[in-house]
Structure 1
Amino acid sequence: MIPNVSLTLTAELHTHARDHLFPGDNLEAAGLLLCSRAPGDLTRLLAQQFLPVPHSACRTRTADEIVWPGEYLEAAIDAAEPQGLAIIAMHSHPGGLFGFSRMDDESDALVMPCLFQATGDLHGSAVMIPNGAVRARTYTPALKATDVGLVRVAHHDIRYWWSDQLGRQGRPLAFTSAMASELSRLTAVVIGVSGTGSIVAEQLARLGFGRVILIDFDKVERKNLNRILNARFIDAENGRLKVDMFAEAVVSYRGPGVAVPVPASITTLDAIEIAAAGDVLFSCVDTLEARQVADLMASSFLIPLIDVGVVIPIRKTGSGVAIGDVCGRIDYVFPGGSTLQDRDVYSPARVRAEYLRRTAPDEHRQEVNAGYIKGIAEEAPAVITLNMRGAAAAVNEFIARTYPFRLDGNEKFARTEFSLAACDEDYTAESAFSRAENPVLGRGDLEPLLGLPSLKRPRKAAA
């Protein structure tokens, strides 16, 4: 079952909290998480900041008890109030109890009313054990407690801690039914359900994801029947939306409710708010603007992103043109790491130039620039084998991160580039990319969404 309430921490914040909560003396320690919220119907808390309570300031610190002064709670309230952030009071359990003790319940009964009296409508508490696993719960102003169903940390590896699997040791083995069982509780988002995206979506649905959100505004045409999975002649004749066509196909082998069609551009407010429910984003798009939005979503909503692109460069010969290469690129981006912009996949200047080119009257030149085969206007390029190669690499990248199976550590594979012409595959480590300041990291639903003025929500009319 897909959890209604979740908490996500960046790897850097998780490490900061763990270092403070476990200083090596086997005594409890405490701190406060400040969390934004992702848009949408689910309660998705996004940790922005960890405020440590100094060990020396605590009145009591033992192996199973901690008492800390209220002034640190007041400081957290002052920091949270301007943006309406939720506050999660967090402490360690050095003994390894992955749950809440009777003393924890009594502490929350004192702390939570103070928080609600000061600010906000949602706060909570959390515990961390020595291996870094986190369990959390939220409270309403009426002090009704709800377990946080899933706590996530995405880094080189992606970690999940489920509230109802407290006794489980380790993680499922890759490519097993246990992996499929866990995937049934997760949501994948596929941005662009065309040549590559339809193949990605097919794999995700058949792997067992509980929900696959499909985002694409385009319709099926005859020219792309040779590369969009599940597309039929009748779909092209009727000008059917790609997402509706694909969602219907998923029903035939997974049943209803798994595929969620979103017939809109990812640049729209509605599509972004729906995509915020994802546990992983797959960017299978052919414009820089869409990649920029996917990149900003990954940072703002703390969702790992896998971006895939394929292309066939050509070269001039004495008798005309020839294939220069047949290649693809897969980038894995984790929240707080280097972004697609850091990696020069796009830049604001190139996004703007793309927009101007798209709105210019020279449509033929635009199609030549945007096609699979650079420099040739192909209406129906026969590229499904290349799309399959790139799509499989993208989905296997997610599996490798969540259920590690590589012989080398995942930090070496931030980017994978393959050349079918050269029979070559190259890898770039995360450490090879510079990382700029990220002003939207953990921004959540703060206005304007993703920090883009064009995504400012309309004001509600006064009652």
Structure 2
Amino acid sequence: MMPRTTLSLTAAAHAQLRAHLFPGDGKEAAAVLVCTQVPGPRIRLLVRDVIPVPHDSCTRRTDCSLTWPGSYIEQAIDAAEAENLGIVLLHSHPNGFPAFSTTDDESDREVMPCIFAAIDARHGSAVMLPTGLIFGRIYDRDGGHTSIDLVSVAGDDLHFWWRDDLATGICRPMAFTPDMTCELSRLTAVVIGISGTGSPTAEQLCRLGFGRVIGIDFDHVEHKNLNRILNTTFADAENGSTKVEVFAERANRYRSTPYFEGLAVNMMSRDAVMALAQGDVVFSCVDTHRARMIADRAGATFLLPLIDVGVGIPTRETAHGLAIAEVTGRIDYVYPGGSSLRDRGVYTPESLQAEALAEEDPVAHADRVKAGYIEGLPDQAPAVIALNMRAASAGVLEFIARAYPYRHEPNASYARTKFMLAEAFEEFTHEREFAPKPTRLLASGAAEPLLGLPILGQEDQ
């Protein structure tokens, strides 16, 4: 079943909490989480701030009980009240007990009404086990609660902890197995751009068994791109069908019930961002800097892992005319709190401005479109499907490696993968080689303006 409720953390927040909640003395410890929320039908809390309760402030700490001062809850309320944020009370079970105890239940019955009296938002409680696994519940004002279906942590590795894991004791699935397929059936992937690299990416995600795949692309099928967009036909080009409409019609035949949802909207729109926010992982398969910028900011805002795919064919002048200099593909894996696409120079303020100006100038825009895949060659129907599929496959495998690790080396070594086919060479860049800049967007959720961009303000709804 697809998760209805999710709690998401950065890898840094999770590591901080684990170190604090398990200091090595075998006794319980506590922290308070201040959470933003993702807009939309799915209830998804994002941990924005962590308030550790000092061990020596607790009046009682044993291996199965804990008493700590309410001043730390008051501190969290002060931090959350102005923005109407949620509060989650988190403590540890060093003995590994995989459920809320009767003492936990009694404590929540006493404390939750006080939190609701101060802030009318979504609040809850949670427990961390020594393995790092977190389970929890979200309360309503009447004292009822709903279990958190999924706790996700995005870092060099991707962690998904499910509520029903507690009852079954299931270990993480192994890559490429039916168990992996079973977990993917509960996750949502978002693909931005259903064209050259996007259609083979989406095709793989559908065949792998993702429970829901959201495709975002406002463009229409044309005759010139039939040679590189999967599942498109001559009739689709004749009819001017949207790329997502065509993909959805074919993909939803793979299963008994529809699961691919296509949105024919521009990425610079609120609708696109709202749809993206419902995902568990985002694949950026676009050819514009501004679309990449939106995906980059959304990953930080909604604590989503992002995989950005790009290809290129630089050329060189020879005595006999234009020749291929290289055939390249680039796959960047970006996690919230790590280096962004902007930090890595994939786009810059200058490139964003130049792109915006070019689109306002018909002549400049036409020149950019003519440039196409191959530098200096205004070919509208390049034969690049083999290159696109190589890059798309590498992007999907990057997700699998993060969620179901199979590499011999740590995933941090593969923040960027770049292949050069002319040289038959592949190079990898470690996350530490990029310098991340702090961002106020991290876990900002539904805060307005959305993604910190006034153009996505509520008035655009």
Task: Give the letter for the 1:66 counterpart.
Answer: L
Distance in 2, matches of 1:307 and 1:226, equals 22
Task: Give the letter for the 1:48 counterpart.
Answer: R
Say whether residues 1:252 and 2:217 are aligned partners: no
**Conserved 8 A contact 2:122-2:138:** yes
Say whether residues 1:54 and 2:54 are aligned partners: yes
Q: CA deviation at 1:168?
A: 2.6
Alignment of 1:310-389 (within 5 A): 310-362=311-363, 363-369=365-371, 371-389=372-390
**Conserved 8 A contact 1:191-1:285:** yes
Deviation string, structure 1 residues 187-239 (Cα, Å, up to 9, x no partner): 00000000110000000000000000000000101100000000011111100
Alignment of 1:82-121 (within 5 A): 82-121=82-121
**Conserved 8 A contact 2:85-2:121:** no
Secondary structure of the residue aligned to 1:9 is: strand
**Conserved 8 A contact 1:218-1:241:** yes
Distance in 1, matches of 2:76 and 2:187, equals 32
Alignment of 1:61-460 (within 5 A): 61-166=61-166, 167-362=168-363, 363-369=365-371, 371-458=372-459
Distance in 2, matches of 1:365 and 1:247, equals 32
Q: Could you tell me which runs of 5 or more consecutive residues in structure 2 were left unpaired when the two chains were aligned.
A: none
2:19 corresponds to: 19
Distance in 2, matches of 1:98 and 1:338, equals 35
Q: CA deviation at 1:459?
A: 9.3
Task: Give the letter for the 1:367 counterpart.
Answer: V
Distance in 1, matches of 2:366 and 2:75, equals 59
Task: Give the letter for the 1:165 counterpart.
Answer: D
**Conserved 8 A contact 1:81-1:120:** no
Q: CA deviation at 1:143?
A: 1.3
Q: CA deviation at 1:256?
A: 3.0
Across the aligned residues of Structure 1 and Structure 2, the Cα RMSD in angstroms comes to 1.1
Secondary structure of the residue aligned to 1:458 is: helix
What is the count of residue pairs matched by the alignment? Answer: 459
Q: CA deviation at 1:257?
A: 2.4
**Conserved 8 A contact 2:7-2:152:** yes
Distance in 1, matches of 2:266 and 2:44, equals 23
Identity of aligned residues (%): 53
Q: Could you tell me which runs of 5 or more consecutive residues in structure 1 were left unpaired when the two chains were aligned.
A: none
Task: Give the letter for the 1:448 counterpart.
Answer: P
Distance in 2, matches of 1:168 and 1:25, equals 25
Task: Give the letter for the 2:32 counterpart.
Answer: L
Which segment is superposed worse, 38-47 or 251-260? 251-260
Secondary structure of the residue aligned to 1:24 is: coil
Secondary structure of the residue aligned to 2:253 is: helix
Distance in 1, matches of 2:256 and 2:162, equals 25
**Conserved 8 A contact 1:171-1:403:** yes
Distance in 2, matches of 1:248 and 1:165, equals 35
TM-score (norm 1): 0.98
